Chain A
Amino acid sequence: MSTTNILLTGVGGQGTILASKLLTLGLIEQGYDVKMSEVHGMSQREGPVLTHVRFGEKVFSPIVEKGKADVIMGFEELEVLRNLEYLRRDGQGIVIFNRVRVSPMGVQNGKEKYPLNGEELIRARAGKLIALDAQTLARELGNPRVMNIILLGVLIRELGLENIDWKRIIAENVKPKFVELNQKAFEMGKNLTKN
């Protein structure tokens, strides 16, 4: 089988790290060879985060090539746009896109403009676009922080990996008092695109 390429992108503090950790644990259980590479800015808050996850029978390079990502899972709009060049260009690429905007410094102090046509640009390039507001959904569940797990649920459904015991993987890897909430968030994400 060929290698599947996934990119998770957002800004520091959005929970990309936990989402990618859970994802890789599930993939390993399924018997895949998995590689993962992470580039984060420096240790200051809110830097851009880009995580490469590749899985298949045998994976060599830990990094996804531009134009070869099967899925981009974006936690923040501008970061999806910044990394859109990674998406495969044969119209088969999937973008899971969280409608959240975190303004960088230049936008905040009025020197630059946050792109207003981001979603439109993404839609034109994605074979399939799943846009959602996971932050609001997470807030409805009682904690905006589980936004990442809702998005993970969406991703798992798109990858067709629902057969893995995610419930247990979540239970083993998050703090006991947040297990139930995270499991609920995962189910919510998984069922969002069911129709």
Chain B
Amino acid sequence: MGKLTVTHTIIRTEKEEALKELITGDEAIARGAWEAGVRFAAAYPGTPSTEILENIATYPEIHAEWAPNEKVALESVIGASVAGARALAAMKHVGLNVAADPFFTFAYIGVNAGAVVITADEPGQFSSQNEQDNRNYAKAAMTPMFEPSDSQECRDMLIEAFEISEKHDIPVLFRMTTRVCHSKSMVELGERREIPIRPYTKDIKKYVAVPANARPMKVKIQQNRELLKEYSNNCLWNRIELGETKTGIICSGDCYLYAREVFGESASYLKLGFTNPLPDQMIKDFASKVEKLYIIEENDPYIEQHVRALGIDCDGKNLFPLNGEMTPEVIRRVIFGEEQALDEEVQAAVVGRPPTLCAGCPHRGFFYELGKRKNVMVSGDIGCYTLASGAPYHAMETTVCMGASISLGHGAQQVFDTIEGQTPRVVSVIGDSTFFHTGLNSLLDVAYNRSKVITVVLDNRITAMTGQQQNPGSGYTIQKDVTEAVNIEALVHAMGFQHVRTINPNQLDQVKETLDWALGMDEASVIITRWPCALKKFAPWDVEEFPGAFTETYFVDQEVCIGCRKCTRTGCPAVVFQFEIKKSSIDPDKCVGCSVCAQVCPVHAIQKVEA
């Protein structure tokens, strides 16, 4: 093993015993950022990274911002770094796709003060549209990369990442996964180190990536890479733990914890925490010490391909799955053939608990009506409303990525319009936050290229799915300071749309009539459904605009109820059908009075509870 070099020292508190806390990886990142002297942080919410910025925002020394999307977040971070402040951008894995454009060229121009980009990957896809492995981004952009396995490493490595960024004049990619983000483990905390703002100097050759400047930048990155290779072979974060040498395991991130759990002292480990560039010498040393070599990693064979390219024989994805989480169970199954038999009797009894739109959700009324329309194609997007693709609505036919509803719908409509006969009309549906994220550009496409798509902005006044984050339409910043709230209707008019309506999605007559209006025209239109999320904490202006919202409840008069179950087809979790008596009822603890069920009841059995 090489000698250990580390460019920062962990500062202890004055107390004899260092302060220790049980915190998540996301919280540890926020703490590490604070300790590292970060002054600027920006993000767009996305599971499992959301809590990073939420926690950073609690430190007054750091200027934290929700950006409209990840590209904007990263570009503002580049600006902060160029201006001389340590800066951090946080995003989920697919967010880095959005921010990929600035990310690659950021590596070229380099930093003034240190900059770190956090990517939170989702092996197992708990709440994401894909399972991409963002370690490939570090390789492609030639940036250094860290991969922590627990909360302590999140804090320690992040502090080090800023040193590396400044020493090598390059942004650092910091790769986490869901389990690292959301698991809690003990962390020894330090104090904040105030890093003075570096002076900004005009340096056109460094910061203007035109071809003449960018060519030497690429050469510089390649030269830097040799130094980083040396670092990788000698740093604290890559280490050999020698146990029995019959089995050797190379692993990174949480896979290290799972491998240790399964093999204990019966194997040797090469534990990698700094994974771009990978430590060639250390890998060769380790491979020569062990009899059988396994590479245990989630998702892609990122380490394995490198090991094989070094001419070293190993077992990896030939045995382990390319998808899903790498849990201790997976390792036991693959290596030892240990399989947990399914308890069929229990499995047969269990029924699912799929996520549903909450009672009082403003999306319910709209999708209840939209789902009844024939000869439409509903182009969907990412948010709580993606649940409309499932039962009982089945009112969404495509979902790809943030903002895609409108542009995908536009392309589909252009093709449908070239076909003779009764071709579908496209209705694109998108939430307010997703609209601000990347829907705006797409809507410009509809206006500019003149398709007749019907665009529906489902404005529930907040970013709901990730847990009630503020956005450019909500009127508050992340710190809950009052700020501008964009006027969607005016914005859409300014783009050139003539037919724009704002409606209350809980009023089914209004929804019906507006859909008729839009479908009846041979031109594009924009419908804005405006009603707050049922979980939203009201701002003073919400109280004013939506008086009495969520304060009422409804009940079923069972004398009148005919048991037709129309009300259950609204998919409301407050409506219960009692099989024994073939009557519906409403759970008064859940009902918040949106009245959608009352509007669909053919016999007026559902009534408001009078106070």
- Tell whether A and B belong to one assembly: yes
Q: Which residues from chain A sit less than 8 Å from chain B, CB to CB?
A: 11, 24-25, 28, 33-39, 41-48, 59-63, 65-67, 78-79, 81-82, 84-85, 103-110, 112-115, 117-118, 121, 125
B575 touches A108 (CB 8 A): yes
10 A-B pairs whose Cβ atoms sit less than 8 Å apart in the complex: A25-B22, A36-B22, A37-B184, A39-B182, A42-B355, A44-B355, A85-B340, A105-B353, A109-B575, A118-B349
A33 touches B186 (CB 8 A): yes
A62 touches B183 (CB 8 A): yes
Q: How far is the CB of B316 from chain A (nearest CB, A)?
A: 20
A37 touches B465 (CB 8 A): no
Report Cα–Cα, A43/B184, bound state, in Å: 20
A46 touches B573 (CB 8 A): yes
B346 touches A121 (CB 8 A): yes
Residues of chain A with a CB closer than 8 A to B356's CB? 44, 46, 105
Report Cα–Cα, A38/B261, bound state, in Å: 18
B444 interface residue per 8 A CB criterion: no
Q: How far is the CB of B393 from chain A (nearest CB, A)?
A: 12
Report Cα–Cα, A17/B352, bound state, in Å: 22
Q: How far is the CB of B390 from chain A (nearest CB, A)?
A: 10
Q: How many A-B residue pairs have CB under 8 A?
A: 147
B336 interface residue per 8 A CB criterion: no
Residues of chain A with a CB closer than 8 A to B352's CB? 104, 106, 112
A48 touches B353 (CB 8 A): yes
Of A104, A108, A112, the residue contacting B568 (CB under 8 A) is: A108
A35 touches B185 (CB 8 A): yes
Write the B316-330 contact mask toward A (1 if CB under 8 angstroms, else 0): 000000000001110
Q: How far is the CB of A162 from chain B (nearest CB, A)?
A: 21
Residue among A25, A44, A82, A103 with the highest chain B CB neighbour number at 10 A = A44
B351 touches A113 (CB 8 A): yes
Report Cα–Cα, A66/B127, bound state, in Å: 22
B350 interface residue per 8 A CB criterion: yes
Q: How far is the CB of B297 from chain A (nearest CB, A)?
A: 16
Report Cα–Cα, A158/B261, bound state, in Å: 25
A45 touches B351 (CB 8 A): no
B349 touches A108 (CB 8 A): no
List 10 other contacts, CB 8 Å, given A37-B184, A43-B535, A62-B179: A24-B184, A28-B22, A33-B186, A42-B384, A44-B384, A47-B355, A81-B349, A106-B354, A109-B565, A112-B352
Residues of chain A with a CB closer than 8 A to B387's CB? 44
Residues of chain A with a CB closer than 8 A to B565's CB? 109-110
Nearest-neighbor residue (CB-CB) of A115 within chain B = B349
Nearest-neighbor residue (CB-CB) of B47 within chain A = A42
A34 touches B22 (CB 8 A): yes
Residues of chain A with a CB closer than 8 A to B185's CB? 34-36, 59, 62
A37-B355 contact in complex given A42-B127, A62-B257, A110-B579, C-beta closer than 8 Å: no
Nearest-neighbor residue (CB-CB) of A3 within chain B = B261
Residues of chain B with a CB closer than 8 A to A117's CB? 349
Q: How far is the CB of B211 from chain A (nearest CB, A)?
A: 45
Residues of chain B with a CB closer than 8 A to A79's CB? 353
B350 touches A82 (CB 8 A): yes
Residues of chain B with a CB closer than 8 A to A115's CB? 349-351
B346 touches A81 (CB 8 A): yes
Residues of chain A with a CB closer than 8 A to B571's CB? 105, 109
B126 interface residue per 8 A CB criterion: yes
Chain B contact patch, size range? 35 or more
Report Cα–Cα, A45/B533, bound state, in Å: 12
B577 touches A109 (CB 8 A): yes
A65-B351 contact in complex given A24-B22, A42-B127, C-beta closer than 8 Å: no
Write the B66-104 contact mask toward A (1 if CB under 8 angstroms, else 0): 000000000000000000000000000000000000000
Residue among B127, B356, B575 with the highest chain A CB neighbour number at 10 A = B356
Q: How far is the CB of B128 from chain A (nearest CB, A)?
A: 11
Residues of chain A with a CB closer than 8 A to B468's CB? 43
A65 touches B328 (CB 8 A): yes
Report Cα–Cα, A192/B184, bound state, in Å: 30
Chain B 489-543 residues near chain A, CB threshold 8 A: 535
Residues of chain B with a CB closer than 8 A to A11's CB? 353
B126 touches A39 (CB 8 A): yes
Residues of chain A with a CB closer than 8 A to B358's CB? 44-45
Q: How far is the CB of B255 from chain A (nearest CB, A)?
A: 10
B340 touches A66 (CB 8 A): yes
A108 touches B329 (CB 8 A): no
Q: How far is the CB of A28 from chain B (nearest CB, A)?
A: 6
Residue among B182, B346, B352 with the highest chain A CB neighbour number at 10 A = B346
Q: How far is the CB of B458 from chain A (nearest CB, A)?
A: 15
A62-B466 contact in complex given A44-B358, A109-B568, C-beta closer than 8 Å: no
Nearest-neighbor residue (CB-CB) of B386 within chain A = A42
Nearest-neighbor residue (CB-CB) of A110 within chain B = B577
Report Cα–Cα, A9/B270, bound state, in Å: 35
B392 interface residue per 8 A CB criterion: yes
B115 interface residue per 8 A CB criterion: no
Residues of chain B with a CB closer than 8 A to A42's CB? 47, 127, 355, 384, 465
B355 touches A41 (CB 8 A): yes
Q: How far is the CB of B566 from chain A (nearest CB, A)?
A: 11
Report Cα–Cα, A61/B325, bound state, in Å: 13
Nearest-neighbor residue (CB-CB) of A25 within chain B = B22
A43 touches B351 (CB 8 A): no
Residues of chain B with a CB closer than 8 A to A85's CB? 340, 342-343, 346
Nearest-neighbor residue (CB-CB) of A106 within chain B = B351
Report Cα–Cα, A46/B127, bound state, in Å: 16
Report Cα–Cα, A175/B127, bound state, in Å: 32
Report Cα–Cα, A64/B150, bound state, in Å: 16
B576 interface residue per 8 A CB criterion: yes
B467 touches A43 (CB 8 A): yes
Report Cα–Cα, A37/B573, bound state, in Å: 28
Report Cα–Cα, A36/B535, bound state, in Å: 27
Report Cα–Cα, A43/B573, bound state, in Å: 15
Of B127, B150, B345, B576, the residue contacting A103 (CB under 8 A) is: B576
Residues of chain B with a CB closer than 8 A to A44's CB? 355-358, 384, 387
Q: How far is the CB of A61 from chain B (nearest CB, A)?
A: 4
Report Cα–Cα, A43/B386, bound state, in Å: 13
B293 interface residue per 8 A CB criterion: no
B172 interface residue per 8 A CB criterion: no
B359 interface residue per 8 A CB criterion: yes
Nearest-neighbor residue (CB-CB) of B343 within chain A = A85
Q: How far is the CB of A133 from chain B (nearest CB, A)?
A: 18
